[in-house]
Amino acid sequence: MHAGFYGREPRNVPELELVIVGAGAAGLSAAIYAALMEINFVVVDAEQGGGLMTLAKTIENMPGVSGKRGPELTQTLIEQLERNGARVRTFEPAQELRFARGDLAVQTSRNAYRPKCVIIATGLELLGLREEYGVEGEREWLGKGVSYCAECDAPLFRGKSVLVAGNPFDAFVLARVAAQVTYLGPVPEEFRSQVPREILEANDIDYIEGDLQRLEGGTVLEAAVIDGVRRPCDGVFISRRKAGTEIYADAGLKLSRDGFIETNRAMETNIEGVFAAGDITGEPWQISKSVGEGAVACLSAFRFLTGRRMRNLGWALQDEWEQAGI
Amino acid sequence: MHAGFYGREPRNVPELELVIVGAGAAGLSAAIYAALMEINFVVVDAEQGGGLMTLAKTIENMPGVSGKRGPELTQTLIEQLERNGARVRTFEPAQELRFARGDLAVQTSRNAYRPKCVIIATGLELLGLREEYGVEGEREWLGKGVSYCAECDAPLFRGKSVLVAGNPFDAFVLARVAAQVTYLGPVPEEFRSQVPREILEANDIDYIEGDLQRLEGGTVLEAAVIDGVRRPCDGVFISRRKAGTEIYADAGLKLSRDGFIETNRAMETNIEGVFAAGDITGEPWQISKSVGEGAVACLSAFRFLTGRRMRNLGWALQDEWEQAGI
């Protein structure tokens, strides 16, 4: 019935146990665990897998994996998955989720899955990548001076000159390593009470106000044009991120105030059998966090599946186990 | 004053900002981030670093790092740290912690540190490694058939025959991949209500009772002797783990029911400025979880340090920021 759709088909487990939605760092990590543990699963991705990780020029801050380029690490993870007998179902976006108690349904562009549990790992949308939000030149020098993640890319700008627009905390992160940090104000409303302009200046961060009109450069970024004035810089940090969580709210998942899927430390959401991992669960945006959360989500799913099989055998499990999470 | 003790000494930050206690997967991950972000820190380890990771024969389940041996991954992490200008202070165990509000002290065998924040990443104690708990042959075939972590090592026993003593959930994990799983009862008291013997048998797990007397083998494990009877097997899984958390409880840290340090998803403990990461925060025991948590703990510490500097500048931060965590 679903045969051929599964990541792998283990012995004695005919039913589809798990659907992993999204194959970025978190989804691939969960899938590798699922394959190793012989869970009967599929992993789908709206595109070709890898998510935002594929945009990383050099990954310096993933412990154990340093110096790789983003697409290279993506390939390593996909190969690790395939070596364990599973593969990503690419270009198969999830379109609708229905999470009734004990009856989960994932409708993608191609299939209607009815798994026993679900891991959501669809990551972030980068608004900067949408035409309507981008500054002229933003896409052109993305990864060559333009960055969306100060905590990820700060080390690449040691001793350099950077401009920060958006989240003022990015400026503090960069002030540790960069030779010169300029914050382009005004500070957005949501941060103004926390980080007024004076605080930035007290931390050796230059403060200017103006309109970022376009970026300029050659093979790498060289300058930003603000109100008609060309300001040389090596890096521009722009934070305009959001999670595309509308379909999850519609499915009944509890979201945090800033729009991410809420989980506990076992990566359980408010719906039984539904787990989440990676950037979609909130900051910080780190590959290592995503990989760790993918692993935990899959092990929690495994425990959920085990508990479910016990219940099917007629055992009323005690509250401790039900509530223990992992 | 502490000069020379620091992992690194950044510009304009004379004070010791962070002490990382423990240099296993979580502590090394936190240290790599701390070095990249130019935090003024030290990382101490009671031994030579690497923690339980050094016991892993082959690491199959760390996404992005597959096929490495445990000591090899340890070396990779240590080199990554050193490339960023820091090093582990080895054979320097923490002996006493005093966490007064706004006044943290870490006393090690060699130094008295007064950092602004602390990350605890001291991992698990494996009771099996203590002479007094071990079965004859347990140390000899550790990593050659003897394992303490079903979720970690299950993939190495695909199609093989294994014996499980201790946590009955390990038997479920192994039943997915191994050809034959035998659980050595009786089921310990703490699991008996959750996993009675009948549940094991209903899941194709053989159930026997007896006393595990010794292990036998050549280059790898070959058999377990139970009540004088030699039972051939490829693997023996023993779960006897505990966190050595007494000194943390004494320091006022809140522990979970099973004795681990409680944290939220930002890896904050109940004490301001004190974070925890890795196995010491509870299951699952996974390198990927530890690495992710180390990263998150360090970024949370960084935000804490930033907030602290703001407070020093006389700013009363709003509740949102105080409570937002990361």
Whether B295 sits inside 8 A of A33 (CB atoms) is no
Question: Is a pLDDT exceeding 70 seen at residue A11?
Answer: no
Whether B286 sits inside 8 A of A294 (CB atoms) is no
- Work out the average pLDDT over A117-127: 85
Do residues A73 and A65 lie in contact, with contact meaning Cβ atoms separated by under 8 Å? yes
Per CB-CB distance under 8 Å, the chain B contacts of A295 are 61, 63, 284, 286, 288-289
Nearest CA distance, A315 vs chain B (angstrom) = 8
- Work out the average pLDDT over A30-57: 91
% of chain A residues with pLDDT over 70: 84
Per CB-CB distance under 8 Å, the chain B contacts of A73 are 64
For an interface test with A, the pick among B60, B286, B317, B320 (most A C-beta atoms closer than 10 Å) comes out as B286
- Work out the average pLDDT over A227-246: 84
% of chain B residues with pLDDT over 90: 52
pLDDT of B198 reads 77
Question: Is a pLDDT exceeding 50 seen at residue A46?
Answer: yes
Nearest CA distance, B175 vs chain A (angstrom) = 9
Q: Is B13 exposed, middle or buried (0-12, 13-18, 19+ CB in 10 A)?
A: middle
pLDDT of B324 reads 43
The more confidently predicted of residues A3 and A132 is A132
Nearest CA distance, B86 vs chain A (angstrom) = 14
pLDDT tens-digit map of B143-153: 889 988 888 78
State ipTM.
Answer: 0.79
Question: Is a pLDDT exceeding 70 seen at residue A35?
Answer: yes
The more confidently predicted of residues B308 and B66 is B66
Question: Is a pLDDT exceeding 70 seen at residue B133?
Answer: no
C-alpha–C-alpha distance, residues B301 and A97, integer Å: 37
User: Mean pLDDT for chain B?
Assistant: 84
The more confidently predicted of residues B248 and B60 is B248
Band of residue B46 on the pLDDT scale cut at 50, 70, 90:
very high
A323 contact partners, CB below 8 Å, separation of at least 6 = none
User: Mean pLDDT for chain A?
Assistant: 84
C-alpha–C-alpha distance, residues A103 and B111, integer Å: 57
For residue B13, the chain A residue with the least C-alpha distance is A176
pLDDT of A308 reads 66
pLDDT tens-digit map of B183-235: 998 887 767 766 777 778 877 899 999 989 999 999 999 999 999 999 999 99
Name the residue among B33, B283, B296 with its Cβ closest to that of A326. Answer: B283
CATH 3.50.50.60 in chain B is located at 18-124+243-323, 128-238
Closest among A181, A296, A220 to B11, alpha carbons compared: A181
Closest among A75, A77, A79, A57 to A67, alpha carbons compared: A57
Per CB-CB distance under 8 Å, the chain B contacts of A194 are 317-318, 320-321
pLDDT of A187 reads 82
Name the residue among B64, B83, B263 with its Cβ closest to that of A291. Answer: B64
Degrees (nearest 5) of the Cα angle B269, B273, B274? 40
The encoded tokens of residue B230 equal 């030699």
Name the residue among B80, B199, B317 with its Cβ closest to that of A66. Answer: B80
Nearest CA distance, B19 vs chain A (angstrom) = 18
Whether A63 sits inside 8 A of B281 (CB atoms) is no
Question: Is a pLDDT exceeding 60 seen at residue B37?
Answer: yes
Per CB-CB distance under 8 Å, the chain B contacts of A169 are 303, 306
Per CB-CB distance under 8 Å, the chain A contacts of B281 are 265
Q: What is the sign, positive or negative, of the torsion defined by CA atoms of A80, A82, A86, A91?
A: positive
Name the residue among A169, A283, A321 with its Cβ closest to that of B194. Answer: A321
pLDDT of B6 reads 41
Per CB-CB distance under 8 Å, the chain B contacts of A320 are 193-194
Name the residue among A36, A60, A169 with its Cβ closest to that of B154. Answer: A36
Closest among B30, B17, B99 to B271, alpha carbons compared: B99
C-alpha–C-alpha distance, residues B95 and B110, integer Å: 10
Per CB-CB distance under 8 Å, the chain A contacts of B310 are 195, 199
pLDDT of B11 reads 39
Per CB-CB distance under 8 Å, the chain A contacts of B293 are 292
3-class secondary structure, A229:
strand
**Candidate from A42-56, A204-218, B298-312 with smallest mean pLDDT:** B298-312
Q: Is B150 exposed, middle or buried (0-12, 13-18, 19+ CB in 10 A)?
A: buried
pLDDT tens-digit map of A272-296: 999 999 999 988 888 999 999 999 9
The more confidently predicted of residues A167 and B274 is B274
Q: Is B211 exposed, middle or buried (0-12, 13-18, 19+ CB in 10 A)?
A: exposed
- Work out the average pLDDT over B16-36: 96
Do residues B163 and B281 lie in contact, with contact meaning Cβ atoms separated by under 8 Å? no
pLDDT of B321 reads 40
The encoded tokens of residue A31 equal 């899938």
Question: Which class is B18-124+243-323 in CATH?
Answer: alpha beta
Nearest CA distance, B304 vs chain A (angstrom) = 12
The 3-state DSSP composition of chain A as helix, strand, coil percent (nearest 5) reads 30, 25, 45
pLDDT of A126 reads 62
Task: Name the H helices within chain A.
Answer: 25-36, 70-83, 150-153, 168-175, 189-192, 197-202, 246-250, 287-312, 319-324
Whether A63 sits inside 8 A of B289 (CB atoms) is no
Question: Is a pLDDT exceeding 80 seen at residue A264?
Answer: yes
For residue A76, the chain B residue with the least C-alpha distance is B64
pLDDT of A85 reads 92
Fold held by A128-238: FAD/NAD(P)-binding domain (3.50.50)
What global pTM score does this model have?
A: 0.81
Do residues A27 and A81 lie in contact, with contact meaning Cβ atoms separated by under 8 Å? no
Question: Is a pLDDT exceeding 80 seen at residue A134?
Answer: no
pLDDT of B272 reads 94
- Work out the average pLDDT over A68-94: 93
pLDDT of A14 reads 55
- Work out the average pLDDT over A222-247: 86
C-alpha–C-alpha distance, residues A254 and A211, integer Å: 37
C-alpha–C-alpha distance, residues B119 and B97, integer Å: 12
